[in-house]
Chain A
Amino acid sequence: MNQPLLDIQEVDASYGPIQALNQVSMHIHQGEIVTLVGANGAGKSTLLMSLFGNPGVTRGEIHFDGTALTSQPGHKIASLGIALVPEGRHVFAQMSVEENLIMGTTPIGTKHVHEDLEKMYELFPILEERKQQNASTLSGGEQQMLAIARGLMSRPRLLLLDEPSLGLAPIVVQQIFSILKEVASGGMTIFLVEQNVHHALKLANRGYVMANGRIKLGGTGTELLSNREVREAYMGG
């Protein structure tokens, strides 16, 4: 393969004196689903946040399609074609579902909004049923779907997902992952940060395992799933 879409090279980042990322290197190619798994506090979310410059990267480089992200201000990054679906959903509670989706077009403007709304309603039929409702009235799973759809509204080239399964019932998690599979089959590049190792590794082409701010392991999803260390650490053997 040629140049990766997202290329992270030996990145360090810290919160004050606490070093959260230590020499993290990874890459994602166009059209891949890559997952990053690891325990709480391993630095997974920090890595996503550092793409947006908060916390700033103290050493190393991040390139997105040849552009250095480290030199861009945070609000410019979304318009490069990266959409982040934040951990804990963060929908606009007092806005209707449709308004939430329209907010998603912020980085690219409303040129394609009608077309894209239709696409999202096709992908998430429940959102169409609820499109006039305030987002605060949705269930957790529906809110997560809304957050994902909102991210997709900016027609990103890379979709970052931070723990989409957080606090959801197993059946809803399954639903979300099957939707992600559908999104990926359309050619979307997805970077998925997850605690739910089993689901994440089954979905992903490749995966990385993170611990204490370092990348410990890397490999294809099935490789990692059968890896004894990973099984012991995350799935109780």
Chain B
Amino acid sequence: MAIDYQYSNKPDSLSSNELLFRIRKSLLDAFITTLLALAVFGPIVGLELDGYDFQLQLKSLVSILGVIFTGRLVASLFFQTSQGEKLLEKFSRKDTSIRVQPLNQKAANGYWIIALFMLAGLMVPFLASKYWITVIILGMIYVLLGLGLNIVVGLAGLLDLGFVAFYAIGAYGLALGHEYLGLGFWSMLPLAALLAALSGALLGFPVLRMHGDYLAIVTLGFGEIIRLVLNNWTQFTGGPNGVSAPAPTLFGLEFKRRVKEGTPFHEYFGLSYDSAYKFIFIYLILFALVWAVLYINHRLTKMPVGRAWEALREDEIACRSLGLNHVLVKLSAFMTGAAVGGIAGVFFATYQGFVNPTSFTFFESALILAIVVLGGLGSTKGVVIAAFVLTVMPEVLRDFSEYRILMFGLLMVLMMIWRPRGLVRMTRSSFQPPQTVRQAMEGVR
């Protein structure tokens, strides 16, 4: 309020003296920024090694510095206008807490938006090229991974740096299940989820007493153990050579050009062969599954178990004093998250047609965690957006692929300054005691 008051009293036209002062201040800002840029870019861009010699690349250095100088000048001039100040004020507000929707205030009705997204999503495979379908499939796989880790980190507050282990278990589950047991995509999908959930419990038991850093280190180790086992158990997993994974089938119809028995998909429907059919099919299954997981996630946060996860994240001692079984709460979070990760792994394997341990390095875990943190811990919407940003953006900006990690870093730094709780702050509706009870109470009064 105080700020508004100050602004409203400002004269419309500035005195020339004040304007001069502002320009001088902006110039000074821009000059300092350029000096800093010179220190950073000078050695990197300005000097080019040539054998044992180096050459000065003044032209590119000067152009970079010029862009930075003008950019900073424009920015600081803009931020001194009333519009700019409003923008700054909006960004500098530190909303670091979770937004809780009051009891009587209903959430904005977003059904039509959901319907719109569903429709758009369903149209994609029939309009987009095969390349874009595969990109979006990858995006959705990361949405699943993000949602899975979001349960563990965002809701239950257990920092898991080895989430890739469950992803690997799902992917290898499909590939090895096919190799040794002859199981196809559809039978392995639930089995892999189960397998991942069980290994989640396996990880969960020893880390029950751990918090924070210690938990992070143990989970990190777990992720590496899984990868190393996959890499070194050559007789069983094929080691670094990997294993091939089966593609999904539509009621027994395969998506290959030629099949050993029966008819392939395209012949059955009298279509000409197109390798994109397989990806369209994977896309559609995955699309349905992502929505299913989103729905389950939404319901879970409203169910007692979801509340228990959040309570555990807030305060473990309080939880235990209230008689919550913290063992069950932690294990259920680990297992649910792991199951979702396992499902993502199955899709990854079937989409690639092949798995090997290099797909499941620590970098993957870090990327999934980045998705959750960037999206906003605990925020489902945020995770979906961040998953697409972090997987689709590198595809769009393929020309700048050398700067990919730099961009990640920049994104993270900017986020920490302006959006410390992620792109979309976690919002949840507040607990509601059972409706019937309240109505009964109102009836009595």
Q: Is the CB of A106 within 8 A of B318?
A: no
Contact of B431 with A by CB under 8 A: yes
Closest B-chain residue to A118, C-beta based? B441
Is A228 in the interface zone, CB < 8 Å from B? no
Determine the chain B residues whose CB is within 8 A of the CB of A99 once the complex forms: 100, 430-431
Q: Is B438 within 8 A of A114, CB to CB?
A: yes
Q: Are B318 and A86 in contact (CB under 8 A)?
A: yes
B314 lies within 8 A of A93 (CB): yes
Bound CA span A134–B321, Å: 20
Q: Report A146-162 CB contacts with B as 1/0, cut-off 8 Å.
A: 01001100100000000
30 residue pairs of the A-B complex, CB under 8 angstroms, read A75-B323, A75-B324, A76-B323, A77-B323, A78-B323, A79-B323, A84-B321, A86-B317, A86-B318, A86-B321, A92-B311, A92-B314, A92-B315, A94-B98, A96-B100, A96-B430, A99-B100, A102-B433, A103-B311, A103-B318, A103-B431, A106-B323, A107-B322, A113-B434, A113-B437, A114-B441, A132-B100, A132-B102, A132-B430, A137-B97
Is B326 on the interface with A (CB-CB < 8 A)?
Answer: yes
A95 pairs with B310, CB closer than 8 A: yes
How many Cβ-Cβ contacts under 8 Å join chain A to chain B? Answer: 95
Chain B 321-344, CB within 8 Å of chain A: the 1/0 string?
Answer: 111111000000000000000000
Known: A73-B325, A150-B322. 11 other contacts (CB 8 A): A74-B320, A75-B320, A90-B318, A90-B321, A91-B318, A93-B314, A94-B313, A102-B431, A115-B441, A137-B97, A154-B322
Alpha-carbon gap, A137 to B100, bound state (A):
13
CA–CA, A157 and B110, complex, Å: 46
Specify which chain A residues have a CB less than 8 angstroms from the CB of B311 in the assembled complex.
92, 95, 103
Contacts known (A79-B323, A86-B321, A114-B441); A134 close to B100, Cβ less than 8 A: yes
Shortest Cβ distance from residue B98 to the other chain A in the assembled complex, whole angstroms: 4
Bound complex: CA A102 to CA B100 (Å) = 14
Interface 1/0 per residue, A37-64 and B, CB below 8 Å: 0000000000000001000000000000
Expressed in whole angstroms, the minimum distance between the Cβ of B327 and any Cβ of chain A is 8
Q: Is the CB of B381 closer than 8 A to any CB of chain A? A: no
Instruction: Report the bound CA distance from A75 to B312 in whole Å.
Output: 13
Query: B210 an interface residue at 8 Å Cβ cutoff?
Result: no
Shortest A115–chain B CB gap in Å is 7
| 6 A-B pairs closest in CB distance | A78-B323, A92-B314, A90-B318, A75-B325, A84-B321, A113-B433
Cα separation A74 to B209 with both chains bound (whole Å): 14
**Contact call A78/B321, Cβ cutoff below 8 A:** yes
Contacts of A222 in B (CB 8 A): none
With a cutoff of 8 Å between Cβ atoms, the chain B residues found around residue A111 in the complex are 437
| B118 interface residue (CB < 8 Å to A) | no
**A231 CB → nearest B CB, Å:** 33
List, in ascending order, chain B residues with CB within 8 A of A102's CB.
Answer: 431, 433
Does B178 have its Cβ within 8 Å of any Cβ on chain A? no
Per the CB 8 Å criterion, the residue count for chain B at the interface is: 27
**B324 lies within 8 A of A110 (CB):** no
Q: Which residue of B323, B434, B437 contacts A107 across the interface (Cβ within 8 Å)?
A: B323
The reply to whether B103 and A98 form a contact with Cβ atoms under 8 Å apart is: yes
- In the assembled complex, A213 has its CB within 8 A of some CB on chain B: no
Taking a contact as CB atoms under 8 Å apart, the answer to whether A95 and B314 are in contact is: yes
Contacts of A3 in B (CB 8 A): none
Residue ID in chain A nearest B315 by CB atoms: A90
Residues on A with beta carbons closer than 8 Å to the beta carbon of B86? none
Interface string of A111-138 (1 = CB under 8 A from B): 1011100000000000000001010110
CB-based nearest A residue for B318 = A90
Give the docked Cα–Cα distance between A111 and B324 (Å): 18
Residues of chain B within 8 A of A96, CB atoms compared? 100, 102, 430
B307 contacts the other chain (Cβ, under 8 Å)?
A: yes
Cβ of A104 under 8 Å from chain B: yes
The answer on a CB contact under 8 Å between A94 and B314 is yes
CB distance from A116 to the nearest CB of B (A): 10
B397-445 residues at the A interface, CB under 8 angstroms: 430-431, 433-434, 437-438, 441
Which residues from chain B contact A84 at a C-beta distance below 8 Å? 321
- Cβ distance A190 to chain B, nearest Cβ, rounded Å: 16
A134 engages B98 (CB within 8 Å): yes
User: Are B323 and A110 touching (Cβ within 8 A)?
Assistant: no
Instruction: Tell which of B310, B322, B434 touches A106, judged by Cβ atoms closer than 8 Å.
Output: B322
Q: Is the CB of B437 within 8 A of A91?
A: no
Interface residue ranges of B223-282 to A (CB < 8 Å): none
B434 touches A110 (CB 8 A): yes
Q: Which B residues between 378 and 394 are near A, CB-CB below 8 angstroms?
A: none
Residues of B within 8 A of A91 (CB): 315, 318
